[in-house]
């Protein structure tokens, strides 16, 4: 069996597994690089560890960031482990090392910045202003992804119970709570929206809202703000603030509950937010026993 056929079988398996279009696109992009380097007509028996190592060495020589390098190798490892399980390999794909990337400190918005965000959301049409406020509120309140917001149906949401049914990556269903302010903004939007549709959020012409439309909306808001703003940063803020709020309320953080709310498949993805929240919690404490002894500070 040739490598190209194996790659096509891999992509078919991932489509049947219900992976999101973006995930499929990334697999195609990053793994195709490996197939082209090794040779699409290379037989499975000729796929050796030495040839894989030559490809990885080539990646290290490319003028790409450490994060991009890690993404290439991570996707390669997924592909090779799938081959190993499905057809067998002459080496262990588990031994492929994914390079570590420096952890970025995820910045969260202050209360004043959040007030400014909502104050900035204003367009020519009152119903579009209401829609945009509802979208930002839901993302900040529940940590939803762009695609998840776009695909919410009206029947998926209960304003009385303040709950919304979400279909995340791989069409996996989960229930996430809404705050009272988000419920208020959604109700305000529904009262003003001139269109009756299956989807909760629609475009200015009444059609289904696309991720590109949300990106454009976020960019329009970003231009009016003195700090970085994006839908992904709203998701970061939800996760980090969830950890901080839960710690301040109970003295502990339920990372598995956060994993469910975020729709993560891997607990390690969720731990990033726990790490960042712990840094913020420690910085807020700022307790020095020596200062208390010598200066009487509490």
The answer to whether residues 82 and 144 belong to one domain is: no
Q: What are the tens digits of pLDDT across the range 167-202? A: 877 667 888 889 999 999 999 999 999 999 999 999
Rg (CA), the chain: 23
Is residue 43 included in any domain, yes or no?
Answer: yes
Tokens of 241: 């603030």
Tell me if 290 is assigned to some domain. no
Q: Is 167 inside any structural domain?
A: yes
Query: Is 225 inside any structural domain?
Result: yes
Indicate if 118 and 50 belong to the same structural domain: no
CATH number for the domain spanning 226: value is: 1.10.443.10
Structurally, how many domains does the chain consist of? 2
Is residue 102 situated within a structural domain?
A: no
Q: Which of the listed residues 95, 124, 148 is the one where a domain comes to its end?
A: 95
Residues 75 and 129 in one domain: no
50 and 158 within one domain: no
**DSSP per-residue codes, the chain:** -BHHHHHHHHHHHHHHTT--HHHHHHHHHHHHHHHHHH-TT-BGGG--HHHHHHHHHHHHHSS--HHHHHHHHHHHHHHHHHHHHHT--SS-GGGPPPPP-PPP------HHHHHHHHHH---SSHHHHHHHHHHHHHHHHH---HHHHHT-BGGGEETTTTEEEEE-GGG-EEEEE--HHHHHHHHHHHHH-----SBSSB-TTSSBPPHHHHHHHHHHHHTTSSS---HHHHHHHHHHHHHHHHHHHHSS--HHHHHHHHT-S-HHHHHHHHHHHHHHHHHHH---HHHHHHH---
User: Residue 169: its pLDDT value, please?
Assistant: 72
Instruction: Please state, as a whole number, how many other Cβ atoms lie within 10 Å of the Cβ of residue 226.
Output: 7
69-85, pLDDT tens digit by residue?
A: 999 999 999 999 999 99
- Report the distance separating Cα 149 and Cα 140, nearest Å: 11
pLDDT tens profile 119-175: 999 988 999 999 999 999 999 988 898 989 999 999 999 999 999 998 877 667 888
Do 158 and 274 belong to one domain?
yes
Nearest to 44 by CA among 78, 91, 77: 91
Tell me what the pLDDT averaged over the chain comes to. 87
Contacts of residue 37, defined as CB under 8 A and 6 or more positions apart, other chains included, come to 55, 58
Residues 70 and 187 in one domain: no
- Are 38 and 126 contained in the same domain? no
Give percent of the chain above pLDDT 90. 58
What is the reported pLDDT for 114? 93
| 81 falls within a domain | yes
Same domain for 257 and 142? yes
Residues 124 and 211 reside in one and the same domain:
yes
* Same-domain check for residues 60 and 181: no
Q: Is pLDDT above 90 for 258?
A: no
pLDDT recorded at residue 101: 74
Question: Which tens digit of pLDDT belongs to each residue from 35-63?
Answer: 999 999 999 999 999 999 999 999 999 99
Instruction: Output the pLDDT for position 271.
Output: 78
| 223-247 per-position pLDDT tens digit | 999 999 999 899 888 888 888 888 7
Last residue of a domain, one of 95, 127, 145: 95
Provide the residue range defining the domain that includes 24: 3-95
Higher pLDDT, 294 or 110: 110
- The answer as to whether 203 is a domain residue is yes
Q: Please, which residues bridge with residue 43 across strands? A: 2
- Position 70 in a domain: yes
């Amino acid at each position: 069996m040739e490598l190209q056929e194996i790659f096509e079988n891999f992509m078919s398996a991932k489509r049947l597994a219900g992976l999101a279009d973006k995930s499929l696109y990334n697999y195609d992009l990053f793994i195709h690089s490996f197939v082209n380097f090794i040779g699409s007509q290379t037989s499975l028996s000729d796929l050796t560890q030495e040839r894989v190592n030559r490809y990885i060495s080539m990646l290290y020589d490319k003028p790409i960031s450490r994060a991009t390098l890690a993404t290439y190798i991570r996707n390669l490892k997924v592909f090779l482990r799938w081959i190993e399980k499905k057809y067998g390999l002459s080496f262990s794909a588990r031994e492929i090392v994914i390079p570590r990337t420096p952890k970025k400190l995820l910045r969260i918005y202050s209360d004043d910045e959040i007030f400014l965000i909502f104050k900035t959301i204003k367009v020519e049409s009152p119903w579009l202003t209401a829609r945009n406020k509802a979208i930002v509120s839901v993302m900040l309140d529940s940590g939803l992804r762009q695609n998840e917001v776009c695909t919410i149906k009206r029947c998926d949401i209960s304003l009385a119970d303040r709950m919304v049914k979400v279909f995340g990556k791989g069409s996996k269903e989960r229930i996430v709570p809404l705050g009272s302010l988000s419920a208020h903004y959604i109700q305000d939007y529904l009262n003003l929206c001139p269109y009756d549709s299956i989807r909760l959020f629609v475009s200015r012409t009444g059609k289904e809202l696309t991720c590109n439309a949300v990106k454009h909306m976020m960019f329009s808001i970003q231009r009016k703000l003195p700090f970085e703003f994006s839908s992904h940063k709203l998701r970061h803020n939800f996760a980090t603030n969830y950890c901080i709020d839960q710690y301040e309320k109970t003295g502990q953080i339920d990372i598995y509950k956060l994993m469910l709310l975020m729709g993560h498949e891997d607990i390690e993805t969720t731990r990033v937010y726990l790490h960042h929240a712990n840094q913020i919690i420690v910085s807020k404490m700022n307790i020095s026993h020596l200062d208390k002894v010598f200066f009487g500070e509490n």
